[in-house]
Amino acid sequence: MPATIISGTEIAKQIRADVAKEVAERVQAGKPKPGLATVLVGDDPASHDYVRSKQKACAEVGINSFGYELPASTSQQELESLVKKLNDDPQVNGILVQLPLPKGFDEESVLSSIRLEKDVDGFHPINIGRLAQKGREPLFVPCTPAGCMFMLEKYLPKIEGKNAVVLGRSNIVGMPVALLLIRANATVTICHSKSSDLPGIIRQADILVTAVGRPEMVRGDWIKPGAVIIDVGINHVDDPSRPKGYRVVGDVNFKEAVEVAGAITPVPGGVGPMTIAMLLKSTLTASKMANG
C-alpha cells in the first residue's frame, strides 16, 4: 500500500488561515499589526525568490512587511547598524536576515546583533544554545525544522522512543531538527557524506529527515517499511521536457520510497510551504510578546 502523502501545502494553508484570523482579531481589538523586517544582502536569485515569497505571505495574512535590500559591497558595520535600528523600531516585531550571507560577512556576529525577542528565524546563538540544552527553552526555533516537527507530530502522534535518522548536519536544518527530535525523546542518529554504510543506518529509521542537497540520493531499498519521511531537499535536475528545462526533486527517490514508507512529504509541496507558515506564526508570537 503506497505511503500517505504529507501535504505541507495543505497544512501550511491552515496555519496561515489561523494566523490571519488572529491578526485580524488583534487589530480589531486595537492592537498594532505584527511587523516583519527582511534584510537581503547581495544578488543571489534564490534568496531574492525566498524573500519575495515571505513578503507576499505577510501581506496575505495581514502582517506588515518591511524589506531592505543591500548590495554585496555592504560592510559588516553597515549591516549590523541596520539590524540595531530595526531592533529599536516598535513597528518591527521580527527581523529576518536572509542566509546565507555573501562571503566575507561574520554571520554569527550579524545574528547575535538581532534582539532575542525579534529573532523569529530562530538563529540567534542564544536561541540555538537554549535549544541544545536540557531544561532551557528558546524563544524561537528555526522555521524549517519547526515545520518538519509540526508535520511529523501531525502524522506520528508518538515520537518518543522512535529511531530518528537525520541525513545532513547544516546549521539551518540538520542540527536544529536533530535537537528538536531529541527534545521529543526520539533516539537520534545524525549522518552525512562521511558516514559509513549510509543505507544500513537509514534502514533503522522509523523517522527519516533528509537535508543533504543530493538529488534522489536515498533509494527505496534504504527505507524501513512504514517509516515516516520528511524530505527537506530541493534539487534541480535537468529535464528538457519541462518549460524551465529542469524539474525539482528531493533528496529521496520519491517513486521508490512511496511504495515502502508509511508517510512521506512530496517535493515540491512538502516542507517548503511550512517554512514560511512557521515564520508567520513566529512573527505573530513576537508581536504578542511585545504588545500583549
**Strands 64-70, 35-41: parallel, antiparallel or unpaired by DSSP?**
parallel
What is the rounded distance in angstroms from the CA atom of residue 96 to the CA atom of residue 47?
Answer: 12
234 annotated to a ligand binding site? yes
User: Which candidate in 98, 206, 224, 251 is catalytic?
Assistant: 98
Q: Give the active site residue among 54, 118, 162, 224.
A: 54
Based on the residue annotation, tell me whether 54 is a catalytic residue of this protein: yes
Count Cβ atoms below 10 Å from residue 255 Cβ, excluding itself: 9
Query: Which residues contact residue 283 at a Cβ distance below 8 angstroms, ignoring those fewer than 6 apart?
Result: 34, 35, 36, 58, 63, 93, 94, 120
Residue 80's closest CA among 115, 54, 125, 45?
115
- Is 49 annotated in the active site? no
Question: Residue holding cell 508581536?
Answer: 287
Check 119, 121, 231, 251 and give the catalytic one.
Answer: 121
Contact 19, 287 (CB under 8 A): no
What are residue 36's DSSP bridge partners?
65, 94
Is 255 considered catalytic here? no
Is residue 147 a known part of a binding site?
A: no
> Which residue, among 22, 50, 13, has the nearest Cα to 172 in the 3D structure?
50
d(Cα 116, Cα 93) in Å, to the nearest integer?
11
User: Which residue ranges are tagged as binding site for NADP(+)?
Assistant: 168-170, 234
Please identify every residue annotated as catalytic: 54, 98, 121
